[in-house]
Amino acid sequence: MVRFATVLMLAGLLAGGSALAQTPAKDQTQLPQSEDLGVEPNPQPPAAGEQPQPPEAQPPAESGEDLTEPPPPEPDDQSDTEETSPDDLSFGEIPDVTVIELTDDIARRSIDALALVRDKYKDANLENYESWQDFVDKTDEGKKFEADIKAAGFANVDEWNIAVTSVSFAYSAITDNLADDLAAQIAEIEKDTSLAQDMKDRMIKGLKAMIPSENNKKIVQAMIDDPDYTEKLRLLAEEGE
């Protein structure tokens, strides 16, 4: 599905590692009981004239087997302490973020088109495609989808997607204080000495692009205040889920 909430992808790259596995407390040491030793408790002395019977021989442990050690882990067993080093991340995992300066007309047309296609293609299993363009390229229905986007005044699906994404960032900044969260993430990246500088620069560039301009926030705020667009804008939150 279209990844409007790209910030979640970048935020995932900032995770410092998985939680360490907790070591369970050792069981208290208990003295072995006679049954554990294979010896009959309180053995009776043999009657007069009887020969004492030797105890049954116990099978020896296999050679080299240490019964005090836990069994080795399975080959596919993954340790909870494994961590992903920032050096293992590739630029392909850090998306380029493109936004535009909105006009009232572009913003409203983009959301009108979103509402249209979400309803018209609700049974097209859009969640099975990586992006809107993937849907367009692979299906006949996608070609009709593209025609609807062009009818809304956009040159292609990518141009429309950038417009909707720009509206989405402004909407999140207003409703969820997204800008404050992004600023905090940028500060953390700048202080992180484990990241290569070129990766830092690209991550910061992407996060800064998600902070909307005052113009974009003003335009989207006017749409929030307009009853005709209040419900349509909530579709943006659904796209990010």
Q: Three-state SS string across 142-180, please?
A: HHHHHHHHHHCCCCCHHHHHHHHHHHHHHHHHHHHCHHH
Across 215-236, average pLDDT: 94
pTM of the model: 0.61
Query: Distance between CA 207 and CA 172 in Å, rounded?
Result: 13
Q: Select the more confidently predicted residue: 91 or 59.
A: 59
Q: CA 192, 212, 178: angle at the middle one, nearest 5?
A: 60
The whole-number pLDDT of residue 16 equals 31
Query: Distance between CA 189 and CA 181 in Å, rounded?
Result: 13
Q: Select the more confidently predicted residue: 159 or 53.
A: 159
pLDDT tens figures, 117-135: 989 998 888 888 888 889 9
The whole-number pLDDT of residue 112 equals 97
Q: Select the more confidently predicted residue: 154 or 82.
A: 154
Residue 197 has pLDDT above 60, yes or no: yes
Residue 184 has pLDDT above 50, yes or no: yes
Query: Distance between CA 145 and CA 121 in Å, rounded?
Result: 8
pLDDT tens figures, 59-71: 555 555 555 555 5
pLDDT tens figures, 203-224: 898 888 899 999 999 999 999 9
Query: Per-domain residue ranges for the chain?
Result: 94-239
